[in-house]
Amino acid sequence: MIKAGVIGGAGYTAGELIRLLLNHKEVTIDFIYSTSNAGNYVYQVHQDLIGSTELKFSSAVNKEIDVLFLCLGHGNSKDFLSKIEFSKTTKIIDLSNDFRLKKDHVFQGKKFVYGLPELQKENIKKATHIANPGCFATAIQLGLLPLANANTLESDTHINAVTGATGAGTSLSPTTHFTWRDNNYSYYKPFTHQHLGEINQTLNILQDNYESDVYFMPNRGNFSRGIYATLYTNYNGSLEDAYSLFETYYNNAPFTVISKSPIHLKQVVNTNKCIIHLHKHNDKLLVSSIIDNLLKGASGQAIQNMNLMFGFEESEGLKLKANYF
């Protein structure tokens, strides 16, 4: 058994991470750090965990744990790590965007590997520090990796994706209140979303001659969780060629599934799956990609990365059924 610590334990991402860790046969939770909730039972904040754990939030950390999960707001992971030095044997998985880009991947001698298993599984296995990908970035990249890997991206890529309310976190703002979100739909950060940095970085790793633009329109949906991304680009091959390309690329990816039937969000909510569907219209290939933003887009992928880093079965603790009905 390995010992895990969680920093920033009160948010949606941390709640799902704790739920997964409690049901992982190779892990025990050593502490869940939250200064604002120190001394309170975890189930008082994450009410779905009542009856599952008697753990309390802590204001202290154990520097000798095996794996540390950082569930902090963007920009806060660097600040936290600059104040506390953990054991050299402690592996760190950061769920913020602090270390995802090449220009930020080294911090205080720690080298963070970008943790998208379908992109670089072998590097993750050898890593001691992981930068977990963003939720939009995960859904979109999984829709583009096979095309870039085959050097078939030859034109601009247009992306429209919608995320659930949990993507905005637990802090309230004018656009996260139920009365605003219910029966409503809106875009935000058009063409400038922060996850574009990750996406472009990956495309240039796989296809270094890709010089076209990626146009991304993120949207807010009136549901709680999930991401539905549609993207289209020019593609010279047939639909059958495209399916063969995707099926071959994801042959050894236990959580990325190719569907020849149209897909919908209920197939992935509460799972670590990404399901992809393809459609060809004239010279355009339409790729649909769906994930649960809190699992494959955050905590589930973090557990998947942990499994790879410690040599556990990649799907351990992640064999989850979708909330289909």
Residues 6+ positions from 162 with CB-CB distance below 8 Å: 185, 218, 219, 220, 221, 227, 228, 229
Given a cut of 80, whether residue 281 has pLDDT beyond it is: yes
pLDDT-based confidence at residue 323 (cuts at 50, 70, 90): confident
pLDDT digits (tens, 9 = 90+) for 74-129: 889 999 999 999 999 999 999 999 999 999 999 999 999 999 999 999 999 999 99
Domains of the chain by start residue, with CATH: 2-133+296-310 (3.40.50.720), 135-293 (3.30.360.10)
Other Cβ atoms within 10 Å of 304 Cβ, number: 29
216 neighbors 161 (Cβ within 8 angstroms)? yes
Residues 6+ positions from 278 with CB-CB distance below 8 Å: 239, 242, 243, 246, 258, 260, 285, 286, 287, 288
Closest to 66 in 3D by CA, of 98, 27, 108, 33: 27
DSSP-derived pairing of the beta strands 91-94 and 186-187: unpaired
pLDDT digits (tens, 9 = 90+) for 128-184: 999 999 999 999 999 999 999 999 999 999 999 999 887 655 555 666 666 667 888
Given a cut of 60, whether residue 38 has pLDDT beyond it is: yes
Strands (E), 178-255: 186-187, 214-220, 227-234
pLDDT-based confidence at residue 73 (cuts at 50, 70, 90): confident
> What pLDDT was estimated at residue 174?
64
Query: Which H, E and C letters describe 81-115, residue by residue?
Result: HHHCCCCCCCEEEECCCCCCCHHHCEECCEECEEC
Minimum mean pLDDT range among 24-28, 209-213, 287-291: 209-213
Q: Quick check: is 274 catalytic?
A: no
> What pLDDT was estimated at residue 231?
98
pLDDT-based confidence at residue 63 (cuts at 50, 70, 90): very high
- How far apart are alpha carbons 79 and 187 in whole angstroms? 31
Catalytic-role residue among 32, 127, 135, 196: 135
Instruction: Identify the sign of the CA torsion 161, 253, 303, 87.
Output: negative
Letter for the amino acid at 195? H
DSSP-derived pairing of the beta strands 2-7 and 27-33: parallel
